[in-house]
A = this chain, B = another copy of it.
């Protein structure tokens, strides 16, 4: 386990929370993921990977905005409720120096796990929300997170062979 990741509740515990609480958790998770990707991008020298991380950060930011709109639509005028708990791994900003490529590889692997759980999380919310519109939006978020998962998986597989990665992806001077 890395310090940027806190293991939350097992996925099955999703049933213990209200839709309002789960939306709050989702917003918190999108904020956490954005901060994680931004902080990681700052510590990564490989341009290709840095650009992907910045792109992911931007996407999570749009998801946060979308979720806040959905929340406002479902609970008009109410402040967002952020439960203390969260489901699955929670990403936190990277505050340490990353000295070895293995450090980056580890973080990417955890981010993959977080994205995979996020996709499952939204698929579960799709079942819980009422109305075609909201179901569609949850499906959208679920698919997007799955897209992130595969984008990260692609980088992860290449990073496992750093000498090749650096040669193929224009890394270094």
Contact B158 A136 (CB under 8 A): yes
Q: Does A148 contact B (CB under 8 A)?
A: yes
Contact A164 B136 (CB under 8 A): yes
Q: Does A44 contact B (CB under 8 A)?
A: no
User: Assuming the A-B contacts A48-B62, A147-B150, A151-B147, are A140 and B157 also in contact, with contact meaning beta carbons closer than 8 angstroms in the complex?
Assistant: yes
Complex Cα distance A140/B155, Å? 7
Contact A144 B140 (CB under 8 A): no
Q: Hey, what's the 0/1 contact readout for A38-66 against B, CB within 8 Å counting as 1?
A: 00000000001000000100000010001
Which residues of chain A from 127 to 144 have a CB within 8 Å of any chain B CB? Answer: 132-133, 136-137, 139-141, 143-144
Work out how many copies of this chain go into the complex.
Answer: 2
Chain B nearest CB, measured from A68 CB (Å): 11
Closest-by-CB residue of B relative to A154 is B143
Q: Does A105 contact B (CB under 8 A)?
A: no
Chain B residues near A132: list those with CB within 8 A: 161
Q: Does A92 contact B (CB under 8 A)?
A: no
> Nearest 7 CB-CB pairs, A to B?
A147-B150, A143-B154, A147-B151, A146-B150, A144-B154, A143-B153, A140-B154
